[in-house]
Structure 1
Amino acid sequence: MTLLDFLPSLQHAATTRIDPTVWPLTARVDDLGRLTVGDVPLTDLADQYGTPSYVLDEKDFRRRIRDYRALVPHAEIVYAGKSLLTPTIASWAAEEQVGIDVCSEGELAAALQGGFDPSRIVLHGNAKPPSLLRQATAARVGRIVIDSPIEIAFLACETPRPQPVLIRVTPDIDIHGHAAVTTGVTDQKFGFALANGQAEQAVVRILKQPQLILAGVHCHLGSQIADPELYGEAICRLIAFMADIRSRHGLTLNELNLGGGHAIAYRSGDPTLHLAELSATITDTLEQACIAERFPKPRIVIEPGRAISGHAGVTLYRVVAVKTQPGGRTFVAVDGGLSDHPRTQLYGAKYTVALANRHPIGATQTVTVAGRHCESGDEIARDVDLPTDTHPGDLLAVACTGAYHHSMASNYNMVVRPPVIGVHHGNATEIIRRETVEDLLARDVAWQKRHRSFDALLHGE
C-alpha cells in the first residue's frame, strides 16, 4: 500500500500535474508527491546540482527520434542542433542514426566531437563567415545550404574539393496565424526568393562553379507549425521550381529539404503537428506534384529540432520570495529568469509550471512566476496556478524547456548559466557543469593579470 492508496484524492492531483502531452515521457509523481523524471526525483537533482538546473530525459529525446523514423519512414531525419546541442547530445542523435544540422563553429565542433560522420552534417546560416565555410569544407560536411550570393563566391574559392550544396528557397508561404515565427515569406533575411527569378539566378551562378555540386533545394517555413498542409503547399511550389530548373538547365535535382518548425505543446491543449498526418501529406502531395510536373521523386529530408529536444527538458527553480501587490498580481520569484529562460520575453511563449517537491494539497491561486533579473519583463510564466501555500524553498519545475533554453542562455547581470543534467533509468549524469564566476571573468585581461579566486575576493584575501 502507498500513500496514494490511502488518500485517493492525491491520485487525481498527481495525474493532473503531469499531462503526458507536455511533460517528458518518463515524468511521474512518487508517493511523497515529488516529481520524478527518468526515475530520479527532481528534488534529489536540485539538492545535488543546485538551481536553476536544466534536466534532460535521455529516453524522451531518443524516443522522439525513433517516432520520426517510424512515422515518417520515407524521409531522412536531420536533427536541428540549434535547438539543443552538446557533444553528449550529439552522440545520442548519432547513435539513433539521424543526420544533424549546425550553423556555427561551436555547433560543428560539438557534432564532430559527438561522433557524427561529417557526411551526415548539414551546415546552415544566413551569414556564414568565410572561416566557417573553410572549416566546414575541411571537415567534408555532407551539405552546405547556400543562403546568399556571396556564399557562392566564398565557397568556390575556399573548397579544396567538390562540395555538395543546397540552395535555400523562400516559397512565399505566409503562415501567420498558423505558427509563432514565419521564415518562408519573401520579405525576411533568409534564402533566395522565387519571385523575380532570384532563386534561379542563384542556381545559374552555382552551376558555373565546377567545385560546387547543386544537390537540391531547401526551405524553412517557420516555427510551431501544426498544419501539415503548409508543407504540402511548399512541396508543390518547390517541385515546380525544380522542374523548371531541369527544363532550363538540364539538371535534375534529387533532394528536397523541407526544414523543420514542427509544433509541440507547451501547455495542455496546445496544437501540435501529428507525424502520421505529416507523413501522409508529404507522400500524397509529392506523388501528385511529381506526376503533374513529370518529375522524378526527390529524396525528402526534414529537420526537426524542438520536436525532438523540447519535451525532454525540464528546468528546476527554487522559490526565493512570494508577494502580492495591493489589488494586483501575486508574484512567485525564483532564482533564475531570462538569462536561462529567454523565450517568454522574446516570443511571449507560455509554459507549464508545477510544484515539484510535494503534493499540492488545498486551494490554488493564479500567479506570475517572476525571474531574478533587473527587467520588468523578466517572467517565466504568467497566469499559472500554484498552491496558495507556495513559499520560499519550494521547488518549481517548468516543462518543455529542452529546446532554445540552454542554447540561448546568456550571462545577463553576470549571472552564471545552469548545468545540464541527463537522467536515464534512475541515473543522473552531469552533461554540462554549472558555470562559475571564475568562468565569467576568465576572458577578462585584467582579471587574468591579477587573478584571485572569487572566494578570496569575498574574504579580502
Structure 2
Amino acid sequence: MRDYSQTQPRIWPQIWPNEIDHLQHVRPEAPVLYFAPEKLADTARRFAQGFDGMTTYAVKANPERAVLDTLVAAGVTGFDVASPAEIALVRDVAPGAALHYNNPVRSPAEIAAGVAAGVASWSVDGLSELAKLIEQVPQGTEVAVRLALPVSGAAYDFGSKFGEAPEGAARLLRAVAKAGFTPAMTFHPGTQCADPAAWARYIETCADIAEATGVRLARLNVGGGFPAATGPHVPPLEAVFDAIHSARDAAFGPDAPRLVCEPGRAMVAGAFSLATRVKAKRECGSLFLNDGIYGLLAEVPLMGLPGRVRVVAPDGSLRDGAPMGRVLYGPTCDSLDRLPQPVDLPGDVEEGDYLIFDGIGAYSTATATGFNGYGAYDLVTIRQPAP
C-alpha cells in the first residue's frame, strides 16, 4: 500500500497573491507547485450547479491532502477510489464520504478492504470479477457494469483496458441483478474527451442494454473524461452536461436512472501551476530545468502541454522577447528526460529565470518519481494565478 504521508511536499503556510509575487520575493531553488483553492472550489461548484446528479472526485488525478480538504469544504460528498490506499486517504479526510470503487479489477484482499471501509458502489467488467464480489460484498450493494465502445474524441482510449462490449455487458448486467446486487452501469469515454457526443452514444447504448435485458438501472455513472480547459477547441463543461442530460432524457424517458460522474482532470487541472527554474542555457538555445518528465511534467509526453508557459525573470518581470522554439530538458542524467517537442519561449530567457506551466494539477503529483534524487517540490497556496 502506498503511504501518501511520505510523498507530501514541503508546504509554505503563507498564502500569496499569485505565483509571480512568490517567485519575486522568495526566488526558490526547488520546483514550486502553486495551488489556488478558490479556483478548485469554483470548479466544484460548476459541477454541483450544472450536473444533474452526484459528483464524485477521482482521487487518482491528484491525491494531495489540500485538494481533498478543499473539495470537502466545497460540498463534495463522494470520491472515486481505485485502491485501498486511496480508500484510507479519503476516510482520513472525510470519514462519512461515499466511496465508489470503480477500478474494476481487484484482488480478494482489496475487496475485503473496500467492504470494511463501507464502499457504496463497485464497478465490474467480467463474470470472473463479479464472482469475487459475490463472495464478499453484501447483497443490495450497487454494482455497475462497465461498458466499452469504440468512440472517438478522447486523448486516449480507456476502453482498450477496461469494459465489456454491449453483448458482454448485457450478460453481466443480468448476472449482477441475479446475484442480488443493485444494478447500475458505468462507462468512461476516455481522458480529455472533447466531443460531448461520446457521452450521448454511451448513454443511448446503456439504455438499449437495460431495455434488452429487462433490468432497471438504479444509477448511471457517466464516468470521467470531462475536458480541462486547455485550449480554444475544448467545449465548456456546461456543453458536456447539456449533452448528458439531453441523451438521458431521450434514451430513458421519465424513468431514467439517477446520474453520477467521476471527474478528475477537469476538476483539478486548472487549480495548479508549476514553476521550474532554468538551471542552464546551452549555446544551441536548449534549456535545462529543475523538473522534468520524471517529476511533475510526467504527463507532457502523452498529453502535450496542458496550458500556456510564461517566463519570469528573478525580479518578477515577464520576459517578452520574440518567440523562439527551445528544447526543454529535465534535471536527471537520463537523455529521455526532455519534453517531446520544442516549446516557443521568449528569446530573452536566461539562466535563473522561471518557467511557469499552467494547468498542471492533474496527474502531476500522482505520477512524480524521485529518480536520480530529484522530484522534491514545494507546495505554495495562492489566491489566483497571475494574469
Deviation at residue 313 of structure 1 after TM alignment: 0.9
Q: Which has the larger radius of gyration?
A: 1
Secondary structure of 1:222's match? coil
Which string of whole-angstrom CA distances, capped at 9 and with x for unpartnered residues, describes residues 134-164 of structure 1? 1111111211112333322222222367532
| Residues in 2 aligned to 1:369 and 1:351: alpha-carbon distance in whole angstroms | 16
Q: How does 1:183-198 map to 2 (within 5 A)?
A: 183-184=158-159, 188-194=160-166, 197-198=167-168
Structure 1's 399 and 94: CA in aligned 2 closer, same or farther, altered over 3 A? same
Length-normalised TM-score, structure 2: 0.86
> Structure 2: which 5+ runs fail to align?
1-15
Q: 2:53 aligns with which of 62, 75, 84?
A: 75
| Residues in 1 aligned to 2:304 and 2:354: alpha-carbon distance in whole angstroms | 24
Q: 2:332 aligns with which of 360, 373, 376?
A: 373
Does residue 415 (structure 1) correspond to residue 374 (structure 2)? The answer is yes
- 2:113 is matched by which residue type in structure 1? Q
Secondary structure of 1:408's match? coil
Does residue 226 (structure 1) correspond to residue 194 (structure 2)? The answer is yes
- 1:147 is matched by which residue type in structure 2? D
Deviation at residue 391 of structure 1 after TM alignment: 1.6
Length-normalised TM-score, structure 1: 0.73
Q: 2:175 aligns with which of 192, 196, 205?
A: 205
Structure 1's 307 and 78: CA in aligned 2 closer, same or farther, altered over 3 A? same
**Sequence identity (%):** 23
Deviation at residue 278 of structure 1 after TM alignment: 1.9
| Residues in 1 aligned to 2:359 and 2:135: alpha-carbon distance in whole angstroms | 43
| Residues in 2 aligned to 1:218 and 1:336: alpha-carbon distance in whole angstroms | 37
Does residue 286 (structure 1) correspond to residue 213 (structure 2)? The answer is no
| Residues in 2 aligned to 1:132 and 1:207: alpha-carbon distance in whole angstroms | 23
Could you tell me whether the CA contact under 8 Å between 1:317 and 1:397 is conserved in 2?
Answer: yes
Deviation at residue 413 of structure 1 after TM alignment: 2.5
Does residue 174 (structure 1) correspond to residue 151 (structure 2)? The answer is yes
More relative contact order in 1 or in 2 (CA 8 Å, sep 6+)?
Answer: 2
- 2:151 is matched by which residue type in structure 1? D
Q: 2:21 aligns with which of 28, 38, 41?
A: 41
Deviation at residue 37 of structure 1 after TM alignment: 5.4
| Residues in 2 aligned to 1:387 and 1:62: alpha-carbon distance in whole angstroms | 33
Q: 1:391 aligns with which of 328, 338, 350?
A: 350
Could you tell me whether the CA contact under 8 Å between 1:225 and 1:273 is conserved in 2?
Answer: no
Does residue 355 (structure 1) correspond to residue 311 (structure 2)? The answer is yes
Secondary structure of 2:267's match? helix
| Residues in 2 aligned to 1:345 and 1:376: alpha-carbon distance in whole angstroms | 14
Following superposition, which runs of at least 4 residues in structure 1 exceed 6 angstroms of deviation? none
Aligned CA-pair RMSD? 2.5
Deviation at residue 76 of structure 1 after TM alignment: 1.9
Could you tell me whether the CA contact under 8 Å between 1:310 and 1:403 is conserved in 2?
Answer: yes
| Residues in 2 aligned to 1:344 and 1:105: alpha-carbon distance in whole angstroms | 28
Structure 1's 256 and 347: CA in aligned 2 closer, same or farther, altered over 3 A? same
State the aligned residue count: 365
Deviation at residue 375 of structure 1 after TM alignment: 3.4
Could you tell me whether the CA contact under 8 Å between 1:315 and 1:399 is conserved in 2?
Answer: yes
Match of 1:276 in 2: 238
Structure 1's 398 and 240: CA in aligned 2 closer, same or farther, altered over 3 A? same
> Structure 1: which 5+ runs fail to align?
1-35, 427-461
Match of 1:344 in 2: 300
Could you tell me whether the CA contact under 8 Å between 2:17 and 2:384 is conserved in 1?
Answer: no
Does residue 90 (structure 1) correspond to residue 68 (structure 2)? The answer is yes
Which string of whole-angstrom CA distances, capped at 9 and with x for unpartnered residues, describes residues 176-235 of structure 1? xx2211124xxx2202221xx31122223333434xx23310000101111212211111
- 1:367 is matched by which residue type in structure 2? R
Could you tell me whether the CA contact under 8 Å between 1:345 and 1:377 is conserved in 2?
Answer: no
Match of 2:120 in 1: 142
Secondary structure of 1:379's match? coil
Deviation at residue 321 of structure 1 after TM alignment: 0.5
Match of 1:63 in 2: 42
| Residues in 2 aligned to 1:366 and 1:411: alpha-carbon distance in whole angstroms | 29
Which segment is superposed worse, 314-323 or 352-361? 352-361
Does residue 253 (structure 1) correspond to residue 256 (structure 2)? The answer is no
